[in-house]
Structure 1
Amino acid sequence: MSDVSLHDCYAQDSGRAFATGTQALVRLLLEQARRDRKSGLKTRGLVSGYPGSPLAGLDHELTRAKSFLDADGIIFQPAVNEELAATALWGSQHLHLYDQPDIDGVFGLWYGKGPGLDRSLDALRHANMGGVSKFGGMVFAVGDDATGKSSTLAYQSEQTLIAAGVPFFYPRSVHDIIPMGLQAFALSRHAGCCVGLKIVVDTADSSAILDLDADRPQMDMTDADAGPVHIGKHDAALLRESRLFDLRLPAVIDFQQRHAINHTIGSSPSTNSSTNSSPIESGRLGIIAVGKAVPEVVEALSSLGAADYNKRGIGLMSIGMPWPIASRTLIDFASHYDEILVVEEKRPVVEDQLARAVVNIKKRGVISGKYCPEGRPLIPQTGELSHQLLCDVIYARAASHDIALDPITPYKQPDNLPAIAARTPWYCAGCPHNSSTKLPDGEITGMGIGCHSISGFLTPDAITNYTQMGGEGAFWVGRAPFSSHTHSFQNMGDGTYAHSGYLGVRAAVAAGVNITFKILYNGAVAMTGGQAVSGGQTPWMISAQLAAEGVRDIAIVTDQPDAFPRGVTWAKNAKIYHRSAIIDVQKKLKDIDGVTAIIYVQSCATELRRGRKRGKLPDPPEMVLINEAVCEGCGDCAQKSNCVAVKPVWHPEGEKKQIDHSLCNKDYSCISGFCPSFMTLTGTAPKTHKDMVLPADITLPEPALPTGISNIFIAGIGGTGVSTLSGILVMAAHLDGIAGQAVNQTGLSQKNGGVTSQVRLSRDQSLNQRMVRLPTQAASLLIGCDGVVAAHDLALTTLHKTATTAILNTRLDPVGVAGVGIGSVVSDDLVLARLAAVMDARNIHQIDASDLANRLFGATMSSAIILLGWALQKGHLPLRVAAIEAALRLNAVDVAQNIAALQWGRLLAVDAARVIALTRPEQTATPDKADEMQSAASLISFFATQLTTYQNDAYAAEFTAVIRPFMNWLEKTGFDADHFGCKAARALYRAMAIKDEYEVARLLTSSKARQNITDMAGANAKINYHLAPPFLSWIRDKDGHPRKLKFGGWLTPILRGLGKMRHLRGRWYDPFGYGHAKQQEQRHKGAVMAWLQQLVDIPQTCPPDQLDKMLDLMLSIRGYGHVKEQNYQTACPQIEACLEAMRMPPHSVDTAAE
């Protein structure tokens, strides 16, 4: 194990090495350089392109591998856009025509996703028609997003490549990338053409253990002369066309046949079988599988009990080069079967070539693929193939030829499966787009390409449809002459602006339309991994460009107006504003004729966090803390900040808010929420958590190792280590000498959306020939880092009724942001109900791993490792403990913490009581978990005690006098007393325990508050309060509300004294008793009391749903000042309507509903 390194996939010459799909592409370049050197060629390499999923991380890998690339003479040039990258690569093929090089040639690799290929088609067509150099070569690695998970469209790039006459390979898995890539370069040189390499999610986002010795195909074309196929200086257009179709493509066919790129697997009735195995006598069903469909078909045949498919009259051909295919290869295979089934995703490419090839032969069977022989649809032309679909198709086609297979039990969604909200992407904590994408009320903006497009999930009614990258603004150019609107806004990221978006600005100026471009400058191409923007334009450079293009007015909006370097030159019509003025700035620019622009400057939050963690950027000294006792849970802070770090927390009074410091990027915009609960702490010294390692007296037994294939489904939230966890498992498999592979499905999900990983481990190396995803209902283990994602449809299809074990983290983060309309908290019961509908409930286990990680390490990031430790100790992983610990060390991130987390997870599996005893402090008198206060009686008693502390016994008695008759009424009606009683008690308590100046002061300075601060930030932390005192209410913010001001720790003794003056509350000499806020609170208190008293007189036959709705509305009246007043004004008429509905006779209610 000590000899293994993360760089083995680049440094090793032979043996086995862990690699991801993108790392395999980097290794391909190194292999090509080394292969040339061994052949006596003096070549260099050039790689260029533009990031985009599923190849979003390739440039990161190229950067990390710079020392290896430099050593082998390979240059990495990040491109401004894909089209120019393709042109630059073709330029390298002209070297020997115009220069005096000291090398034999330059081999070039282009990378990009489907839309980038579309954009580059003109450049690609020129290169392919013009040809490449004899010792150079051009390969296009095209990333196809088949489901549109992180693209505006679902992509299939085959037709684009074919239109340009570009032959292409389609690797089946990560294992094929290097050998097929080497064949692609060899083919490019032999035939003088460009060659494509189709890369899909299941190859790019996969990890596997490569056999480096098997990745070097033997290729010898010394006896093959393709003719004048290579690049010339000034070939005429018709000559270029002729050379492509008359010389180069025939040379491609020759190369393909010589190297059996498309070949049969196993036995075949054909005497031309590429294998040495004995041919079978007859064939009834021949299956031609394309690219990644090959291992999927192998998996389907195994699931159908036909691992010995050759003996059953079934043949299988693997297509590694889908276009062009030698007709003879197809005819040789097809002529020996009664039916040929072509399995390929999306629109047919191979099937059409097969039909053309066999149309004139005498003996031919029927062809099925997109349609069955009878003309019914068979394999869809959209989306991607599923394991169950392939099993169904193969079973049906085999049955039509009397081939008996074992049917699989199809996954069927259970009847009445409760619906669950989707874990949609959301901006990172502190993301500039939380503020930059805000619009004046009633406005609509144009959507663009980039992280800011997430606003399409959040405010879909305030944003237009997508365009292609670079089309931003042109939408409005076409709409403007016919629209009832006179102006539009348009979002555009700085990466898009540099890529091609500036042309949209020029087009808008030329068209004379009224539009405001919002150029969101965060210094990184954050959507694809935080790469630096090619070109390196600064905000002031962009302002000068915009002014030169004719933009009328330019506003620079930023979170730090004073942070720009002195002496930089801005455009003359540019003015700098603080981000708090973003709405006012937009209103101003909207009224200016012509094109205007906002350059919103704020660093990408994720890149800031990385820079701070690595010590490259200063870490702001202030930590934000919410005093949960003061918090009303109104969500104004979440609405102001739009921040995912503002999380819900359970409290006896109801849901409150807290800051998740594992996510917080110190943007501080949440502080602007109108609430006195916020404090900022400086001089913090968080707990060091010295006790995080297991006590020395604990010895954990070595877990048992399962046999067979371990199929593991991991579900979680983007940015919490799900993809890292899958990589650790595959690396551990490598260290343990067994087979392992995994695929991550992320896309936009890395931005707080749902992320899944599917991992397969086995001691049988033939696993490498199987599909990387889990077959239907084959999961042996579900690791639910997030219950919402774990209970979604994708995961459910992999679960088996009896064979799956699930381990879930009980922490359920809200879907969206707490306090915002889209934000909601999914109940634990809903998650369990969905899982129990498809698997044995006894196999579902729950751990509050986030809480345990926080107690042990002061952060929640290791919660996934705790779950992994539990699963390991329970015997669900075929890996030794030492292998996983070694993989964690290789990962080199928080090594000691993660190894400790693994050990604590293992201990939890064998002695949960011991873990609880070691990590949980003594419970206080105040319950802090929902399940510790389920009954209305206990909650009422608790609130009565709290009101005595709040005021006195008489005040508590007043509470009891109102709530008791209501509870008696509930008993008479037969309604759920605990459900409705708890809601009513909370509503009444919150109305009576008014958080006035005395109460806020008492809660801010309580011993519990001080202890929380000490636990979070150390005993020496300095406190700053953020308050809007009534005697300073004349100081207003831009919206006309009292402005919150910052007060230092000197205020603490004053607050402590004020908290002790609560006996003044309600007296005629109460200095705060005559303010508007106090009168508003008294009105609210009286209204809640009156509503509950009116309910007692309601007929016992009233509809319970109206009662439930009314109590929820009463609970919605929360917050401070104008926030609470607005909630009160919104709720009052609806509450009165509920009361009226409950007073009506039952039949009248039904009639009214109709």
Structure 2
Amino acid sequence: MQALARLPMEQRRRDLRAGLNTAGFITGYRGSPVGGLDKSLWQSGELLKTHHLHFQPAVNEDLGATTVWGTQQTSLFQGSRYDGVFSMWYGKGPGVDRSGDALRHANFAGTNPHGGVIMAVGDDPICHSSTIPQQSEFALQAADIPVLHPANVQEIYDFGLLAWALSRYSGFWVALKLLTDVAESSGTIGVGDEHGAFVLPTDFEMPQGGPHLRWPDWATDMDLRMEQVRFPALRAFVRANAFDKAPLSPGRKRLAIVTAGKSYGDTRQALADMEIADAQALDLGIGIYKPGLIWPLETEGLLDFVEGFEEVLVIEEGRPFLEPQIKAALYDLPEPRRPRISGKRDGNGETQFRSSGELKPADITRVLGPRLTRLADLPGVTRRLKLLEEISNRGPGPGAQFPRTPHFCSGCPHNTSTKVPEGSSAMAGIGCHFMAVFMDRNTHTYTHMGAEGCTWAGLAPFSKTGHMFVNIGDGTFYHSGSLAIRQAVAAKAPITYKILYNDAVAMTGGQPVDGPISVQQIAWQMEAEAIKRIALVSDNPDKFNPAEFPSRLTIHHRRDLDAVQRELREYKDVSVLIYEQTCGTEKRRRRKRGKLEDPAKRVFINDRVCEGCGDCGVASNCLSVLPKETEFGRKRTIDQSACNKDYSCVNGFCPSFVTVHGGGLRKRSGSGADFDETLFANLPEPQLPDTSKAYAMLVGGIGGTGVVTVDALLGTAAHMEGKAVRSLDDTGLAQKFGAVYGNLQIADTPEALNVARLGAGHADLILGPDLVTSAGPKVLSLIEPGRTRALINTYEQMTGAFTRNPDLRIPSDSLRHGIADLCGAERTEFVDATRLALGLMGDAIGANTFLLGFAYQRGLIPISSQALEKAIELNGTAVQANLRVFRWGRLAAHDRAAVDKVLGDKAKTAEAPAPQSLEEIIARREADLTDYQNAGYAKRYRQLVDRVAAAEKTRAPGKQGLAEAVARYYYKLLAYKDE
């Protein structure tokens, strides 16, 4: 995203050097994998104004595209302040789909010769964070929009500048196809003048009138100009500037591989995995042709390259797009000059590359490997194929039965707002609240963004079901969802729309909604849409003045949500429930920045009163309510590090809850400002791993706990040491509590880094802040025995299923064995980083940095401690605390006894209760019951347990399981507090 954000600034600088006074315009609608572009632009601050850049996020994608169309019309009206305006539109695949009409009209009209338009199109081909897989080049082709396909961050920058030049020269809008693995990756790039430099064609004379936008202008003229002027100009510019490359061009021509974008990197990685260096590939007769412009394909360079090869193999992800263009280009060649062509299917018509899902280096190896072994004896190919077979035969591992699925954040309003009354159903919408479909919320089906409820408007006349709740977020409502409500009103559908107003676009990072929107405005708009029943539900209803709302609207506290919904479902027309509560994570951000009051109020659980029933978890649906294993059984505790102070857990109405007003968390011995840092003074520096080849690390953790930060720290530190870095934060839908993966590779040179995502058997290190994530099938497939090492946090962080199953237990032993059996016991280490960080610092949030320090001291991180600490300082967040917890991690790896000495009794606080004899169990509880009531009460307990023990000894000699169960649970019955 930073490369995209830098592009318009660089374009403005280059225009000034060329004597042009231009401005830039950026608009679009956020969505992964381009969901963070707006934040990167906002972070640029005054640089936007300095470079005459106007950034205006769009209400939705098609309206944004239309505003871009307007920026190209500066020459049509008097009073323009600039020579031209260069523009950038951004959006994900579904945004391209919904904008087809606007894109086709605007591209048909053309661009300004000193303006130009590029599109940053985010494609999510395997639905990491989307409702359908995307391959936008087909829609772009239908709109006659040329498509460039960057393979890495460097090419995003280079192609972006070339795209503006191409757009100005040819009159086309030009798209950059940005796959998740490219758009969400990071890397070190060059930004010198040679990057994105271009020349004008010398073999093409532009026809009179040129290719650009004008007025008056009519569709028939535009159509003719497209064919006779713009496409020829496009082809000439692409030829002149060598968008397409031939990285491997052998003298002896056997197999030509044509591949673009991410698939090019995957192909190079497959060759590296098979130990095929460039020189050997050339000796084998293997060539590689890499189109930069994937539509329309520039065929002159392609034909020159492939002529003389025996076979052309097209490698591309998704449905065939390059392959039919290549076949069409080669069709007219005489048969002796025309090579065989295969792609999705081989020469026998059998599938060799799937047209669905993700294409991985391993998939390419399985196709290329057997071909290569027919050309020569290649031990590296044989080894790689054998490893892939072993990995595919492993099975999913124990973690497959215990997945970490995404879950609402602590304090998320959707924990409450997405509940429906017994007997009712709901339909999901686009946003974090979509995760209700994973829970016991009777929430089913979804639509594309902005059409929420319309499917029910169509189904209702044919169904006996009399009513449906429909969830729609405030961002979706503003984007286009208000029209869906209008459609439901027109259809007289029995729907209650729950407009979930959480004051932020939480799913993509907490950005504000793109325009003025408030609870009051929504209410008045719904009044104007002729909706007769409107209710407002809030966690703080007293802040609303009824005079600011339509008279028909009623205001309620969120504790009355069920009753309000029961009343609305009886209403026979469209009704609206506005649920107002700020996003829990956004509250946390604002409190940290001092923009929101942080309540001096915390909730604790007295575990001696708690009976472990789990009602607090059911009431709150919150994963900051954790299990606590004690001598007296499983209890509950509040994770103070993760709690966002929603307080809905107290709705379990339990006497074990203690609310503390005015207090703060006590600082621990290792975190105080007066702590003696000399404890860290003599830490030895470890031998660092070799980076002459790519050193690959996978950080497997939980969304919202700092996995992405660890990845960023490592990348920044490596960059400061002059190393090449490539990383990818694989977050998917996880905002909080879901599995998150940080893929990071470090090497001495960028040529060693082909892909952003680690593939089968690629990992040198599994750094696991979360045991559950690290034992999952995705991570285990990265392990190569004898190569991979693993350092795993053993702390048991519950999954979302715990809110529905209070007896859920993490199968820790099984998960540990799943990792250690593959890596080898000698290459695997487990440490309870969370417990140690909490004990030393008083806050578990430092666990990941603690684990990083531990890994560094073990010699598993190929970066110096000086660079890592400098990266922590540059990050600027809780610098001293993070530096100290990093050093604590190092010390724990070097001298655990020194750490335990500082911890004292806290060194054992999180350990499971030690096994006890039957007599110890009875004696402890007998004493407790004496204190609880009196000696007679305790005697009553002792007598029953003794009778059961005697009977068990007679009937089952040598066994005492029954007596132990009675000792524990008869005590629980006698000491029950919840009365």
Aligned positions of 1:7-46 closer than 5 A: 22-46=1-25
Q: What is the rounded CA distance, in whole Å, between the counterparts of 1:380 and 1:697 in structure 2?
A: 57
Q: What is the rounded CA distance, in whole Å, between the counterparts of 2:45 and 2:906 in structure 1?
A: 53
TM-superposed CA distance for 1:395, in Å, is 0.5
Within the candidate set 567, 585, 604, 1:606 is matched to 585
Match of 2:276 in 1: 306
Match of 2:974 in 1: 992
Higher alpha-carbon deviation: 331-340 or 394-403: 394-403
Match of 2:464 in 1: 484
Match of 1:804 in 2: 788
Q: What is the rounded CA distance, in whole Å, between the counterparts of 2:5 and 2:547 in structure 1?
A: 40
Q: What is the rounded CA distance, in whole Å, between the counterparts of 2:162 and 2:820 in structure 1?
A: 49
Match of 1:884 in 2: 868
Match of 1:371 in 2: 345
Match of 2:422 in 1: 441
Q: What is the rounded CA distance, in whole Å, between the counterparts of 1:35 and 1:964 in structure 2?
A: 90
Within the candidate set 621, 630, 654, 1:651 is matched to 630
Asked if 2 retains the 8 angstrom alpha-carbon contact of 1:694 and 1:903, the reply is no
Deviation per residue, 1:1014-1042 (Å, 9 max, x gap):
xxxxxxxxxxxxxxxxxxxxxxxxxxxxx
Aligned positions of 1:237-316 closer than 5 A: 237-266=219-248, 268-269=249-250, 280=251, 282-308=252-278, 309-316=281-288
TM-superposed CA distance for 1:215, in Å, is 6.2
Indicate the SS of the match to 1:251: helix
Asked if 2 retains the 8 angstrom alpha-carbon contact of 1:108 and 1:139, the reply is yes
Mark the CA change 1:749 to 1:348 in structure 2 (over 3 Å): closer, same or farther: same
Mark the CA change 1:677 to 1:192 in structure 2 (over 3 Å): closer, same or farther: same
Asked if 2 retains the 8 angstrom alpha-carbon contact of 1:732 and 1:884, the reply is yes
Match of 1:236 in 2: 218
Alignment pair present for 1:826 and 2:796: no
Q: What is the rounded CA distance, in whole Å, between the counterparts of 2:579 and 2:343 in structure 1?
A: 51
Q: What is the rounded CA distance, in whole Å, between the counterparts of 1:938 and 1:255 in structure 2?
A: 86
Match of 2:107 in 1: 128
Mark the CA change 1:974 to 1:885 in structure 2 (over 3 Å): closer, same or farther: farther
Mark the CA change 1:665 to 1:977 in structure 2 (over 3 Å): closer, same or farther: farther
Within the candidate set 726, 735, 747, 2:732 is matched to 747
TM-superposed CA distance for 1:933, in Å, is 2.7
Within the candidate set 331, 351, 360, 1:359 is matched to 331
State the TM-score, normalizing by the size of structure 2.
Answer: 0.94
Indicate the SS of the match to 2:293: coil
Q: What is the rounded CA distance, in whole Å, between the counterparts of 1:970 and 1:350 in structure 2?
A: 76
Aligned positions of 1:394-413 closer than 5 A: 394-401=368-375, 404=378, 406-407=381-382, 408=384, 409-410=387-388, 411-413=391-393
Indicate the SS of the match to 1:838: helix
TM-superposed CA distance for 1:928, in Å, is 5.8
Match of 1:338 in 2: 310
Indicate the SS of the match to 1:862: helix
Asked if 1 retains the 8 angstrom alpha-carbon contact of 2:613 and 2:806, the reply is no
Match of 1:738 in 2: 723
Match of 1:525 in 2: 505
TM-superposed CA distance for 1:980, in Å, is 7.2
TM-superposed CA distance for 1:48, in Å, is 0.3
Deviation per residue, 1:466-492 (Å, 9 max, x gap):
101111110111011000111111111
Asked if 2 retains the 8 angstrom alpha-carbon contact of 1:128 and 1:244, the reply is no
Asked if 1 retains the 8 angstrom alpha-carbon contact of 2:600 and 2:661, the reply is yes
Alignment pair present for 1:703 and 2:673: no
Asked if 1 retains the 8 angstrom alpha-carbon contact of 2:791 and 2:828, the reply is yes
Asked if 1 retains the 8 angstrom alpha-carbon contact of 2:629 and 2:913, the reply is no
Asked if 2 retains the 8 angstrom alpha-carbon contact of 1:934 and 1:978, the reply is no
Within the candidate set 137, 154, 158, 1:179 is matched to 158
Within the candidate set 58, 61, 71, 1:82 is matched to 61
Alignment pair present for 1:786 and 2:791: no
Asked if 1 retains the 8 angstrom alpha-carbon contact of 2:57 and 2:514, the reply is yes
Q: What is the rounded CA distance, in whole Å, between the counterparts of 1:671 and 1:226 in structure 2?
A: 74
Deviation per residue, 1:883-918 (Å, 9 max, x gap):
000000000001101111111111111111221121
Deviation per residue, 1:247-298 (Å, 9 max, x gap):
22222222222111111103x14xxxxxxxxxx2x12111112101112211
Higher alpha-carbon deviation: 889-898 or 572-581: 572-581
TM-superposed CA distance for 1:938, in Å, is 4.8
Match of 2:620 in 1: 641
Mark the CA change 1:617 to 1:166 in structure 2 (over 3 Å): closer, same or farther: same
Indicate the SS of the match to 1:908: helix
Mark the CA change 1:215 to 1:173 in structure 2 (over 3 Å): closer, same or farther: farther
Alignment pair present for 1:510 and 2:484: no
Letter in 1 for 2:16: R
Structure 2 stretches lacking a partner, 5+ long: none
Match of 1:318 in 2: 290
Q: What is the rounded CA distance, in whole Å, between the counterparts of 1:823 and 1:458 in structure 2?
A: 17
Match of 1:100 in 2: 79
Q: What is the rounded CA distance, in whole Å, between the counterparts of 1:748 and 1:65 in structure 2?
A: 27
Q: What is the rounded CA distance, in whole Å, between the counterparts of 2:463 and 2:14 in structure 1?
A: 61
Alignment pair present for 1:795 and 2:779: yes
Higher alpha-carbon deviation: 249-258 or 620-629: 249-258
TM-superposed CA distance for 1:786, in Å, is 0.7
Q: What is the rounded CA distance, in whole Å, between the counterparts of 1:801 and 1:165 in structure 2?
A: 50
TM-superposed CA distance for 1:310, in Å, is 1.4
Indicate the SS of the match to 1:737: coil
The count of aligned residue pairs is 959
Indicate the SS of the match to 1:656: strand
% of aligned pairs identical? 39
Deviation per residue, 1:19-48 (Å, 9 max, x gap):
xxx001011111111111111111000000
Mark the CA change 1:379 to 1:170 in structure 2 (over 3 Å): closer, same or farther: same
Mark the CA change 1:944 to 1:340 in structure 2 (over 3 Å): closer, same or farther: farther
Indicate the SS of the match to 1:749: coil
Q: What is the rounded CA distance, in whole Å, between the counterparts of 2:714 and 2:755 in structure 1?
A: 17
Mark the CA change 1:570 to 1:738 in structure 2 (over 3 Å): closer, same or farther: same
Mark the CA change 1:978 to 1:444 in structure 2 (over 3 Å): closer, same or farther: farther
Asked if 2 retains the 8 angstrom alpha-carbon contact of 1:636 and 1:819, the reply is no
Aligned positions of 1:834-849 closer than 5 A: 834-849=818-833
Letter in 2 for 1:356: A
Letter in 1 for 2:310: D
Higher alpha-carbon deviation: 468-477 or 970-979: 970-979
Q: What is the rounded CA distance, in whole Å, between the counterparts of 2:299 and 2:578 in structure 1?
A: 57
Mark the CA change 1:819 to 1:982 in structure 2 (over 3 Å): closer, same or farther: farther
Structure 1 stretches lacking a partner, 5+ long: 1-21, 270-279, 996-1119, 1122-1154
Within the candidate set 771, 788, 805, 2:755 is matched to 771
Within the candidate set 387, 399, 403, 1:422 is matched to 403
Indicate the SS of the match to 1:245: helix
TM-superposed CA distance for 1:449, in Å, is 0.6
Q: CA RMSD in A?
A: 2.2
Mark the CA change 1:928 to 1:954 in structure 2 (over 3 Å): closer, same or farther: farther
Q: Computing the radius of gyration over CA atoms, which structure comes out larger, 1 or 2?
A: 1
Match of 2:181 in 1: 202
Within the candidate set 877, 881, 884, 1:897 is matched to 881
Asked if 2 retains the 8 angstrom alpha-carbon contact of 1:109 and 1:138, the reply is yes
Indicate the SS of the match to 2:496: strand
Q: What is the rounded CA distance, in whole Å, between the counterparts of 1:347 and 1:973 in structure 2?
A: 70
Letter in 1 for 2:709: T
Mark the CA change 1:101 to 1:632 in structure 2 (over 3 Å): closer, same or farther: same
Q: What is the rounded CA distance, in whole Å, between the counterparts of 1:260 and 1:559 in structure 2?
A: 60
Deviation per residue, 1:819-852 (Å, 9 max, x gap):
4249833221121122134221332211111111
Mark the CA change 1:188 to 1:129 in structure 2 (over 3 Å): closer, same or farther: same
Indicate the SS of the match to 1:213: coil
Letter in 2 for 1:101: S
Match of 2:365 in 1: 391
Letter in 2 for 1:748: L
Asked if 2 retains the 8 angstrom alpha-carbon contact of 1:694 and 1:904, the reply is no
Match of 2:200 in 1: 221
Letter in 2 for 1:317: Y
